[in-house]
Amino acid sequence: MNYKDQLVTCEQCGKRFVYTVEEQRRQAELGLPLIPPTLCPTCRREAEPRPGLHPGVVKWYSEEKGYGFLIQDDGTEVFFHRSGVTGDPERVLQEKAPVWYEVKKTERGPQAYNVHERE
Ligand SMILES: [Zn+2]
C-alpha cells in the first residue's frame, strides 16, 4: 500500500497539520484503523485527554529509564512511566506489546496510565 502525507485540519484551532506516512504505517502495522488525528500536535498537547480505555501498542520501554512510549490508536505517541503499568509487567513492558491504556494530562503533557495487556 502507498501511504502519503495527508493534510488534516485541526478540529480545534483550524490549522492544517500533516498526518504523516509514519503515523499511517504504524497504525496499519498494528492492525489499527487508519483514522487521522483530529487535533494538531499543539492542541493535542493542551487537550483534555479522551476518557476511557484505548487500544495501543508499546513502541519502546527502557528498564533503565523506567519509562517508554506507546503508539496510540491515532498513530501518535504518548509517554508512559513504569508506575503507570497496572498489568503484567512481563507482558506489557516489551516492544510491540498490545495494551489498553488511559491518558491523563500532566504539566509535561499527556501521559498514559493504567497500562495493561490487551490480549
Ligand atoms: Zn490545533
In this predicted structure, the answer to whether residue 87 has a pLDDT above a threshold of 70 is yes
Q: What is the pLDDT of residues 101-118, one digit of tens each?
A: 999 999 888 999 999 999
Note if the pTM is more than 0.95. no
Beta strands in the chain (DSSP E): 6-9, 16-19, 54-62, 67-71, 77-81, 98-106, 109-117
Q: What is the greatest pairwise CA distance in the chain?
A: 42
Local confidence band at 52 (pLDDT 50, 70, 90 cut-offs): very high
Per-residue model confidence (pLDDT) at position 1: 67
Q: What is the pLDDT of residues 5-50, one digit of tens each?
A: 999 999 999 999 999 999 999 888 877 788 899 999 999 888 888 8
How many angstroms separate the alpha carbon of residue 95 from the centre of ligand 1? 30
Domains of the chain as residue ranges with CATH: 6-117 (2.40.50.140)
Name the residues around ion ligand 1, CB cutoff 5 A: 10, 12-13, 40, 43
C-alpha cell belonging to residue 105: 494530562
How many angstroms separate the alpha carbon of residue 42 from the centre of ligand 1? 6
Distances (CA, A) of 115 to 27, 44, 77: 19, 20, 14
Per-residue model confidence (pLDDT) at position 2: 79
Cβ neighbourhood burial of 101 (10 Å; 0-12, 13-18, 19+): buried
Cβ neighbourhood burial of 95 (10 Å; 0-12, 13-18, 19+): exposed
